[in-house]
């Protein structure tokens, strides 16, 4: 069973959730807000730091002028020979501060790293890509896997109902492909003789470089992994399906694997765990039902909606085309059975789809702020890193269970 501290914090957490949902219900959004929001006031956020704090540099980018969709990039210090005792500041001639963060040097060959697209949890109505807990988790993944993590700040419900969050996930994948193509174009821009230039960039009408410099210098989109936490796992699975359908249209981006951490799946026919653990820790079934009502379209509310239930018949593409999928479940999570069933269906379709189940664990045991430093949370991140390296290693499949 979970510890007494976890049980007590779960009570407090549920109170917070019910208070937030009460406020959202009492102040209904009568019109869909296309711009939307990506975080709430109640969420503690961590400021970005482009100067390799704790071995990882971060920056925030607003990538869609028509919505609040944004990303946070986590770049591990392994891309440079960085001395943490040295502080380097870039200043103008008059001494005014301009920028003190990491900037790739032009004309040099850079280390390339795989890219992990991460989708945070929060039951579609809460959480954010720049929250304290998500920032700490993404730093851990960036360090353990030696990857660039792109945490997606998708629009939240009920201000932006389905399919806003799912569209945002796909939009970021397409943005990653666009950035990769812009970076490649920049490499070949020269003085007309067709020679390749490492310091060239593609510029927009205002003279600003359109290719994101960290990704252009260090990102390898041909080794892209999707990682979803709770409700973010539903988004990751949707994006994986769309990537399969797009095929070579996404080149050079290739989704080589996905990780679904305690997916936020549900259905109209309850499973054994949904009945037995309905009042489980942190996210009980009654709270989650409220969030689904705030997320799904009011006129088409159905627990067998494709966004909620991955096992409904007729979903495209066929499971045999899905990427390798690692599923993480918690023993005390009422949503566990449906995630296990989905993993089993993937294995029946001959997909590499291992299942990691953690004893006495609760929903979001590896990503909640109060549980991030537990041995179980650390072990889960390390287990994910071992499996992910199987598909992002350039030397082959030397990492495996």
The alpha-carbon radius of gyration of the chain (Å, integer) is 21
Question: Does some domain include residue 216?
Answer: yes
Instruction: Decide if pLDDT at 29 tops 80.
Output: no
Residue 176: both structure tokens together: 């990653």
Range of the domain at 354: 2-81+108-186+209-390
Question: Does some domain include residue 87?
Answer: no
CATH number at residue 250: 3.40.50.1820
Which residues fall within 8 angstroms of residue 317, CB to CB, at 6 or more apart?
Answer: 241, 244, 245
Instruction: Decide if pLDDT at 92 tops 50.
Output: no
User: What percent of the chain has a predicted confidence (pLDDT) above 90?
Assistant: 65
pTM for the model stands at: 0.90
DSSP string, 88-135: --EE-TT--EEE-S--PPTTS----EEEEEEE--STTTS--TTBHHHH
Averaged pLDDT score across all residues of the chain: 87
Beta-bridged to residue 114, according to DSSP, are 220
- 363 is an active site residue: yes
Number of domains in the chain: 1
Instruction: Decide if pLDDT at 382 tops 60.
Output: yes
* pLDDT, position 295: 95
Structural contact between residues 227 and 173, judged by C-beta atoms closer than 8 angstroms: no
- In 3D, which of 366, 271, 386, 371 has the Cα closest to residue 326? 386
DSSP string, 302-320: -TTSTTT-TT-TT-SS-GG
Instruction: Decide if pLDDT at 205 tops 60.
Output: no
- In 3D, which of 214, 224, 131, 128 has the Cα closest to residue 168? 128
Question: Using the 8-state DSSP alphabet, how is residue 43 labeled?
Answer: S
Which of 44-53, 166-175, 178-187 has the highest average model confidence (pLDDT)? Answer: 166-175
Question: Does some domain include residue 362?
Answer: yes
- In 3D, which of 379, 384, 365, 373 has the Cα closest to residue 283? 365
Q: Which of 120, 201, 305, 363 is catalytic?
A: 363
Alpha-carbon 196 to chain mean position: 34
* pLDDT, position 32: 60
* pLDDT, position 28: 63
Cβ atoms < 10 Å from Cβ of 389: 19
Question: Does some domain include residue 364?
Answer: yes
At residue 225, the 3 state secondary structure works out as strand
Question: Does some domain include residue 401?
Answer: no
At residue 29, the 3 state secondary structure works out as coil
The residue to which tokens 């697209």 are assigned? 117
Structural contact between residues 162 and 149, judged by C-beta atoms closer than 8 angstroms: no
Note the maximum CA span of the chain: 70
* Residue positions counted in the chain: 401
At residue 176, the 3 state secondary structure works out as helix
- Distances in Å between the Cα of 25 and the Cα atoms of 40, 126, 290 are 15, 14, 9
* pLDDT, position 201: 53
Q: Which of 333, 337, 343, 383 is catalytic?
A: 333
Express each pLDDT in 50-83 by its tens digit. 988 889 999 999 999 999 999 999 999 999 864 4
The mean per-residue pLDDT over the stretch 361-372 comes to 94
* pLDDT, position 85: 37
Express each pLDDT in 335-352 by its tens digit. 999 999 999 999 999 999
Instruction: Decide if pLDDT at 199 tops 80.
Output: no
* pLDDT, position 13: 83
Question: Does some domain include residue 88?
Answer: no
Structural contact between residues 214 and 75, judged by C-beta atoms closer than 8 angstroms: yes
Question: Does some domain include residue 201?
Answer: no
Higher pLDDT: 189 or 59? It is 59
Q: Which of 131, 230, 273, 343 is catalytic?
A: 230
- Distances in Å between the Cα of 96 and the Cα atoms of 39, 102, 104, 143, 227 are 33, 18, 21, 33, 40
* pLDDT, position 276: 94
Question: Does some domain include residue 196?
Answer: no
- 204 is an active site residue: no
């Amino acid at each position: 069973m979970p510890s007494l501290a976890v049980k007590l914090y779960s009570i407090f957490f549920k109170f917070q959730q019910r208070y937030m949902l009460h406020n959202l219900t009492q102040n209904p959004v009568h019109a869909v807000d296309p711009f939307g929001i990506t975080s709430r006031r109640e969420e503690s956020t961590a400021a970005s730091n482009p100067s390799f704090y704790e071995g990882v540099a971060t920056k925030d980018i607003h990538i869609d002028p028509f919505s609040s969709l944004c990303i946070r990039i986590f770049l591990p210090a392994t891309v440079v020979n960085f001395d943490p005792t040295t502080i380097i500041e870039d200043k103008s001639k008059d001494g005014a501060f301009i920028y003190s963060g990491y900037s790739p040097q032009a004309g040099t060959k850079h280390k390339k790293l795989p890219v992990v697209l991460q989708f945070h949890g929060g039951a579609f109505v809460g959480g954010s890509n720049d929250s304290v807990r998500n920032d700490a988790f993404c730093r851990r993944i960036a360090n353990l896997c030696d990857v660039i993590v792109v945490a997606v700040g998708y629009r939240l419900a009920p201000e932006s109902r389905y399919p806003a969050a799912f569209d945002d996930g796909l939009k970021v994948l397409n943005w990653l492909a666009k950035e990769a193509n812009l970076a490649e174009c920049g490499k070949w821009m020269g003085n007309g003789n067709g020679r390749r230039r490492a310091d060239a960039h593609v510029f927009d009408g205002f003279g600003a470089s359109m290719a994101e410099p960290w990704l252009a210098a260090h990102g390898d989109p041909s080794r892209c992994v999707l990682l979803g936490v709770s409700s973010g796992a539903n988004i990751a699975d949707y994006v994986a399906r769309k990537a399969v359908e797009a095929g070579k249209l996404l080149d050079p981006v290739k989704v080589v694997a996905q990780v679904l951490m305690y997916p936020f799946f549900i259905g109209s026919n309850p499973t054994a765990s949904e009945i037995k653990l309905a009042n489980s820790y942190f996210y009980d079934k009654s709270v989650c039902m409220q969030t689904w009502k705030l997320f799904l379209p009011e006129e088409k509310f159905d627990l067998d909606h494709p966004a909620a239930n991955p096992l409904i018949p007729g979903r495209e593409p066929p499971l045999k085309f899905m990427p390798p999928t690692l599923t993480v479940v918690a023993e005390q999570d009422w949503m566990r059975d449906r995630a296990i069933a989905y993993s089993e269906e993937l294995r029946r379709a001959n997909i590499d789809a291992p299942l990691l189940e953690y004893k006495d664990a609760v929903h979001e045991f590896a990503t909640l702020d109060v549980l991030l430093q537990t041995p179980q949370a650390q072990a889960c991140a390390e287990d994910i890193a071992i499996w992910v390296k199987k598909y992002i290693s350039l030397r082959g499949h030397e990492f495996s269970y």
